[in-house]
Chain A
Amino acid sequence: MDSTKTQRRIVVVGNGMVGHHFVASLVEAATGDHITVIGEEPRPAYDRVHLSDVFAGRSAEDLAMATRETYQGWGVDAHFGDPAIAIEREAKVVVTELGRRFAYDKLVLATGSYPFVPPVPGADNDRCLTYRTIDDLGAIKAKARHSKVGVVVGGGLLGLECANALKNLGLQTHVVEFAPGLMGVQIDEGGSRMLRRKIEALEVQVHTSKNTSRIVAGTDTALSMEFADETSLATDMIVFSAGIRPRDDLARKAELGVGERGGIVIDYKCKTSDADIFAIGECALFGGRIYGLVAPGYRMAEAVASQLAQREGSFQGADMSTKLKLLGVDVGSIGDAHGRSEGSMSFVFSDEREDCYKRLVTSGDGKQLLGAVLVGDCEDYDTLLQYYLNGIELPADPQGLILPASSGQPLLGVSALPATATICSCHNVTKGDVIGAIDGGCCSLVEVKGETSASTGCGGCSAMLKSLVEDELGARGVTVDKSLCEHFPYTRQELYHLARIGEVKSFTELLAAHGKGRGCDICKPTVASIMASLWNEHILAPAHVGLQDTNDTFMANMQKDGTYSVVPRIAGGEITPEKLLVLGKVAQDYGLYTKITGGQRIDLFGARLEQLPAIWAELVAAGFETGHAYGKSLRTIKSCVGSSWCRYGVQDSVGMAIRLENRYKGLRSPHKLKSAVSGCTRECAEAQSKDFGVIATEHGWNLYICGNGGMKPRHADLFATDLDDDTLISYIDRFLMFYIRTADRLQRTSVWMDNLEGGIEYLRQVIIEDSLGIAAELEAQMALVVDTYQCEWKATLEDPAKLKRFRQFVNSEEPDNGVVFVQERQQIRPARAEERLRLVAVAK
C-alpha cells in the first residue's frame, strides 16, 4: 500500500507562534497529511509573548516552542531561514528565496506582522531599531552597550514593554507617544493618566502628543529627535514600537484579497479569496480587524486544522481582554474599556495615594459588565473577566466589585462559575473540561495540565486553574499517595509526562524541578529509562552515568560472582555459520561458558568487567550488535522457520521477526518486551506467550498482545486479524508507545492491560480507531527512537571516555581475586563457597 500518492500536501508559510500552533494541532488531529513548513527566521517558532524575558536572563532556547527534532519526530518537513517569495496559484506551488518549490493542496499563510516604522527622515539610521524577533533583541543589546540614553517610539503595550527592557539594560529611558495618552487602545483616559504617573515615578520620561519630524545627528549624544512642535530630544538609540502592520506582501503579489490598510482578508473559515489558501494569525484581517494577540491566532489555527480533519471549524472573532505587567505596573483591560457602548454606565474608583485606578463599564440597567480598566491593581481581573465573558449578572451594587476589600464585597470564586466558563483562553479550556479531566482520572494539577493543556500558554490562568483543581480534588477527598519513591511524589506515568511536556533531558533537571533529595536505585533507573524512551541518547552519556543499574552501566548482565554475561543480538534466531564460528572462537579465547538461551540466542558467561570491551570489539568487528539482554527493553523476537522451509508455513515468519526485531531493538520501556512470530497456526514460536505475538494467516498476520511467560503466565489476547505488513507495524508502534507512556515501573504488558479500565476493547479504540487522537504522535515518537538507534556497544567502543569505566581497579591491572571458576561438563562455572575456600587454600 503506497500512501504517499493519496497524501494531501499542506504547506505552511511562516513559523511564528500561530504557524507552529497550527502544525501542532494538525499533527494532533492525525490527518495523515504531508506537512511542509517554510520559515523565514533561522530558528523554529519561539514564544514571542515572552520575548522580553530574555532581557531578564532567560535564554533564547528557553523560549523555543519547538525544535527541529520536534518537527522531525512529527514527520514534518521544515525549512528555516528561507522565506517564501511567491505563490504560483495556477500551479499550486510556493517558491522560496533559495529557489525551492513546494507543491501544495492546501496552503496556510501565517506570516504574522512587522513593526511599523513611521516614514520620518533619518529613521533609517543604524541606531534606529525595532522589536519583534530574537535577532532584534541581539541588535538592541548590542547598541545599548554603547548608549546612555534610549527612546522608545510608541506608548502602547509593546512600546512600554520595550521601555522596560531598555531600562533594565541600564539606559536613561524615554517613551515618545503620538497620541495624548499611553495605551490608548486598551485603557481610558483616567487609566492612562494613572499609568503615566506610575511610570514616571520609575524614572522613565513620558512625552505624549509628540509627532517626530526628523532624526538627525546629535551633539552630546549620537542622535537628536526633532518634533513638529519644535522641541527636540537627545538620545543614543531609538526603538520603534509604533504599532504593527500585517505581512501581506506575498498575498498581494498573488492577488489574494487584502484590506485597505493591509491584512489578508479571511472569512469565518479563515479562507482567503482563494479557497485552497488560508490565512491565520496577525497577517489575517477578519471582520475588518487585525487581532494583535496570540489567543485569537490560536483559535484561527485550530479552526483550520479542524476543517482539514473533516470536522467543523470556524473563527467567530475573539475577545481582546488583556492583563499585563508593564514596567512593574499591573494593567488590565476588558471589553469596552472606553465606555463607548450605547447607554452604558461607568463606575470609577481612583486612589492617588495607592496609585490605583479602576473603572467598570456596565449596561444601562447595571446588570451586565461591558468592560473594565484596571491600573495599579489587577487582583479583580479574573473575577471581572468571568462576569464579562459569561454574562453573569452583576450584584446590585456593582461598584462594590472595585472598591477596596474592606467594603466586604465577596470575590467571585471559581466555584461560582458555570461549567461553560472559560478558564484558559489560550487553549480554550472551560471549567467543564477541567472537571471532565478530573472525572476521567486526573489526580493533580500536573495531570490536568497535561490532559487539557490549560495553563500551558501565556500562563495567565494558572492561579485560577490551580484553585479550581484543588477545589475539585478536595471535594472528591483525593489524597492518594502514588509516589514512585521518597524522592518523587509522582508515578512513573506522571514523571513520563512531566519529562515529555517539559522536554526534560536529564535526571538532575527532573529532580530539581519535580523532586527532592538525591535520588535512589528506584527513581534513577526509572528516570533513565524514561529519558531513553523519550530522547534515546546513549545510556552512558555523562548525564545518565550513575543512573543505570549495573547491567545497563556495563551493558552486560551481572552474574552471582560479579562477572558478566555477553548476549549479542541474533535477530529472529537466524544466524550464519560464519557468525556462529565467531561466537565459538570468542568463547574459546576468553574461556567463557556457552549456552543457548530460552530466547533463541547464545549467551557467553563468565566475562570479567575488564574483558568486556575486548570481547565486544571482536563481536562488533564481526557484525554483531548488542542484544540488550541487560535492559528493560526489547529482548528477543523468536521465530519459527516459516514458509521458506516448512511445508505448512503460509508467510515468511523469519523475515517478519527479523524486521520487527531490527525495528524495536534498543527501545527502552517500563519492563522488558518479548515477541515471537509463527509462520502458521501450529504456533511453533509460542507467539501467544509474548508481549506481542504475530501469527501468519493466509491473508496476512494476526496480532496478539499482552501475553507473558515467567512467574505468572498469561496467554496473549487476539487483537486484530489479517493485517498487511505496514498496518501490523503501525499497530505495534502505537501499542508499544502507548504502553511506554502509561505503564507503571516494572509492569509487564499483561499486568498493565489487566489494570487498564476497558481492557483490550479500550486498547482497540486507542490503537485502531485512534479515539484519543494520538496515533500519529505515538508513531512519530517511535520513528524518532527507530531513527536514533545506535548499537550501544559500538558507540561505547568508539569513545575512550566511556571505556575508562571498564576496569576492575582504577589503580591496578590485577584481576578480581574473588572470581574463582571450577570445571563442569567441560566448561567453567563459578566456584561454590566451600569449593572456593579449598581452591584458595591450595593456591596459597
Chain B
Amino acid sequence: MTAAEKYNWEPLCKREDLVAGSGVCALLGGEQVALFYLPDEEPAIYALGNRDPIGGANVLSRGIVGDIGGELVVASPLYKQHFSLRSGACLEDEAIKVEVYSVRLDGDSVLIAR
C-alpha cells in the first residue's frame, strides 16, 4: 500500500480554480487552505494553512511563490517572511511553522487528505 492510498482523499475544488505559478484559497470545513499550483514541479500542487502567523491575517495564498536555495517557498504578502511549501517551516524563524496539507490532482479534481 502506497502512502497515497492510506488517506481518505476528498475533493476540495477543481483544477481550473487553480492559478498556475501562484496561489488561491479554499475552505475545508472551517479551515482556510492556501493552494499553490506549480505545473513545472513534481508534485505540481502544494497546500498550507492560509493564515500568516506573523502578520496575523489570512493571506498566505496571495504571496509570491519561488525558491530559496532550491527550497520551494511562498513569501507572505504582509511582511515577506518565507514559508516552505513542503514543510510549512518559516525560513526566517525556525520556531514558526504553518499547517501542511496533503493534496493531489486527480484528473480535473483537487483532492485533499483528511
- Return chain A residues, CB-CB under 8 Å to B21: 545-547
Nearest CB in chain A to that of B79: its residue: A560
With A805-B19, A809-B25, A809-B26 known to touch, is A549 a contact of B64 (CB < 8 Å)?
Answer: yes
Kindly state the separation between the CA atoms of A812 and B32 in the bound complex, as whole angstroms. 11
Nearest CB in chain A to that of B23: its residue: A546
- Return chain B residues, CB-CB under 8 Å to A523: 66
B interface footprint on A496-530 (CB within 8 Å = 1, 0 otherwise): 00000000000000000000011111011100000
Contact B57 A818 (CB under 8 A): yes
Kindly identify, within residues 782 to 807 of chain A, every residue whose CB is under 8 Å from any CB belonging to chain B: 804-805, 807
- Return chain B residues, CB-CB under 8 Å to A812: 26-27
Q: Is B13 an interface residue (CB 8 A)?
A: yes
Kindly identify, within residues 1 to 33 of chain B, every residue whose CB is under 8 Å from any CB belonging to chain A: 12-14, 17-22, 24-27, 30, 32
A interface footprint on B54-72 (CB within 8 Å = 1, 0 otherwise): 0111110011111111101
Contact B67 A558 (CB under 8 A): no
Q: Is A561 an interface residue (CB 8 A)?
A: yes
Contact A562 B63 (CB under 8 A): no
Best-buried of B20, B27, B65, B70 by chain A (most CB within 10 Å): B27
- Return chain A residues, CB-CB under 8 Å to B59: 550, 558, 562
Q: Is A814 an interface residue (CB 8 A)?
A: yes
With A520-B75, A521-B63 known to touch, is A486 a contact of B17 (CB < 8 Å)?
Answer: no
Best-buried of A523, A560, A809 by chain B (most CB within 10 Å): A809
- Return chain A residues, CB-CB under 8 Å to B12: 811
Contact A562 B58 (CB under 8 A): yes
Contact A520 B13 (CB under 8 A): no
- Which of A521, A560, A814 is close to B57, meaning CB atoms less than 8 Å apart? A560
Shortest distance in angstroms between A815's beta carbon and chain B's nearest beta carbon?
A: 11
Q: Is B104 an interface residue (CB 8 A)?
A: no
With A486-B68, A521-B66, A811-B17 known to touch, is A833 a contact of B25 (CB < 8 Å)?
Answer: no
- Return chain A residues, CB-CB under 8 Å to B69: 486
Shortest distance in angstroms between B105's beta carbon and chain A's nearest beta carbon?
A: 14
Contact B80 A521 (CB under 8 A): yes
- Return chain B residues, CB-CB under 8 Å to A546: 19-22, 64-65
- Which of A524, A558, A811 is close to B62, meaning CB atoms less than 8 Å apart? A558
- Return chain B residues, CB-CB under 8 Å to A547: 21, 64
Q: Is B78 an interface residue (CB 8 A)?
A: yes
- Return chain B residues, CB-CB under 8 Å to A562: 57-59
- Which of A486, A558, A810 is close to B25, meaning CB atoms less than 8 Å apart? A810
Q: Is A816 an interface residue (CB 8 A)?
A: yes
Kindly state the separation between the CA atoms of A562 and B61 in the bound complex, as whole angstroms. 11
- Return chain A residues, CB-CB under 8 Å to B38: 518
Kindly state the separation between the CA atoms of A814 and B31 in the bound complex, as whole angstroms. 12
Kindly identify, within residues 565 to 613 of chain A, every residue whose CB is under 8 Å from any CB belonging to chain B: 609
Q: Is A808 an interface residue (CB 8 A)?
A: yes
What total of A-B pairs shows CB separation below 8 Å?
Answer: 100
Contact B27 A811 (CB under 8 A): yes
Contact B78 A818 (CB under 8 A): no
Nearest CB in chain A to that of B69: its residue: A486
B interface footprint on A692-712 (CB within 8 Å = 1, 0 otherwise): 000000000000000000000
Kindly state the separation between the CA atoms of A561 and B56 in the bound complex, as whole angstroms. 7
- Return chain B residues, CB-CB under 8 Å to A810: 13-14, 17-18, 24-26, 35
Contact A554 B17 (CB under 8 A): no
Q: Is A425 an interface residue (CB 8 A)?
A: no
Kindly identify, within residues 537 to 560 of chain A, every residue whose CB is under 8 Å from any CB belonging to chain B: 545-551, 553-554, 558, 560
- Return chain A residues, CB-CB under 8 Å to B24: 805, 807, 810
Nearest CB in chain A to that of B14: its residue: A810
- Return chain A residues, CB-CB under 8 Å to B18: 810
With A520-B68, A546-B64, A558-B77 known to touch, is A816 a contact of B22 (CB < 8 Å)?
Answer: no
- Return chain A residues, CB-CB under 8 Å to B56: 560, 833
Kindly state the separation between the CA atoms of A547 and B19 in the bound complex, as whole angstroms. 12
- Which of A519, A545, A558, A811 is close to B26, meaning CB atoms less than 8 Å apart? A811
Shortest distance in angstroms between B98's beta carbon and chain A's nearest beta carbon?
A: 14
Contact B64 A520 (CB under 8 A): yes
Contact A519 B27 (CB under 8 A): no
Best-buried of A550, A562, A814, A833 by chain B (most CB within 10 Å): A562
- Which of A487, A545, A558, A816 is close to B19, meaning CB atoms less than 8 Å apart? A545
Kindly state the separation between the CA atoms of A818 and B58 in the bound complex, as whole angstroms. 7
Kindly state the separation between the CA atoms of A518 and B22 in the bound complex, as whole angstroms. 12
- Which of B13, B55, B67 is close to A560, meaning CB atoms less than 8 Å apart? B55
- Return chain A residues, CB-CB under 8 Å to B13: 810-811
Contact A558 B75 (CB under 8 A): no
Kindly state the separation between the CA atoms of A805 and B56 in the bound complex, as whole angstroms. 22
Contact B32 A816 (CB under 8 A): yes
- Return chain B residues, CB-CB under 8 Å to A554: 62
With A546-B21, A562-B59 known to touch, is A525 a contact of B64 (CB < 8 Å)?
Answer: yes
Nearest CB in chain B to that of A805: its residue: B19
Shortest distance in angstroms between B63's beta carbon and chain A's nearest beta carbon?
A: 7
With A550-B77, A809-B25, A811-B27 known to touch, is A519 a contact of B32 (CB < 8 Å)?
Answer: no
Nearest CB in chain B to that of A561: its residue: B57
Kindly state the separation between the CA atoms of A497 and B59 in the bound complex, as whole angstroms. 34
- Return chain B residues, CB-CB under 8 Å to A805: 19, 24
Shortest distance in angstroms between A143's beta carbon and chain B's nearest beta carbon?
A: 40
Nearest CB in chain A to that of B70: its residue: A517
- Return chain A residues, CB-CB under 8 Å to B26: 809-812
Kindly state the separation between the CA atoms of A814 and B29 in the bound complex, as whole angstroms. 11
Kindly state the separation between the CA atoms of A523 and B65 in the bound complex, as whole angstroms. 11
- Return chain A residues, CB-CB under 8 Å to B82: 521
Nearest CB in chain A to that of B36: its residue: A546
Contact A816 B66 (CB under 8 A): no
- Return chain B residues, CB-CB under 8 Å to A521: 63-64, 66, 75, 80, 82
Kindly state the separation between the CA atoms of A558 and B58 in the bound complex, as whole angstroms. 11
Kindly state the separation between the CA atoms of A805 and B20 in the bound complex, as whole angstroms. 12
- Return chain B residues, CB-CB under 8 Å to A804: 17, 19
Interface residues of B (CB under 8 A from A): 12-14, 17-22, 24-27, 30, 32, 35, 38, 51, 55-59, 62-70, 72-73, 75, 77-78, 80, 82
7 pairs from A and B in contact (CB 8 Å cutoff): A518-B67, A546-B22, A546-B65, A560-B56, A562-B59, A810-B13, A810-B18
* Other 8 A-B pairs with CB < 8 A, given A546-B19, A811-B12, A814-B27: A520-B64, A520-B66, A545-B21, A549-B64, A550-B59, A553-B62, A810-B14, A816-B32
A-B pairs with lowest CB-CB distance, top 3: A546-B21, A520-B66, A550-B77
Interface residues of A (CB under 8 A from B): 486-487, 517-521, 523-525, 545-551, 553-554, 558, 560-562, 609, 804-805, 807-812, 814, 816-818, 833
